[in-house]
Amino acid sequence: MTDSEESPEFVKEPKACSLPHLKKLSLANNGFSATGMRALSHVLSANSSVEELVLDRNPIKDVGAAWLARALSKNATLEV
């Protein structure tokens, strides 16, 4: 998988993020791009509390969708 945009440094070695009460994460209409989706995919891969993710009206494109698919394959709590 490639991403034409440079990824932030924190994407390379993401830190564990524990927010046990966070069940719904809405990032709708935030200009969230493929690069943002790449960073989020690393967090979602290790997340065990978020059950619902809202990404309406964001330009994540095919690359961002691929990163989301990768996260979904590793996350047991997000519902499709």
Q: CA-CA distances (angstroms) from residue 74 to 18, 28, 30, 61, 68?
A: 16, 22, 25, 21, 10
φ/ψ of residue 44, rounded to 5: -65, -30
pTM to 2 decimals?
Answer: 0.73
pLDDT at res. 14: 53
Helices (H), the chain: 9-12, 34-46, 61-74
pLDDT in tens, 12-53: 545 556 678 899 999 999 999 999 999 999 989 888 899 999
pLDDT at position 55 over 70: yes
Q: CA 33, CA 22: separation in Å to the nearest integer?
A: 22
* Number of continuous H segments (helices) and E segments (strands) in the chain: 3, 2
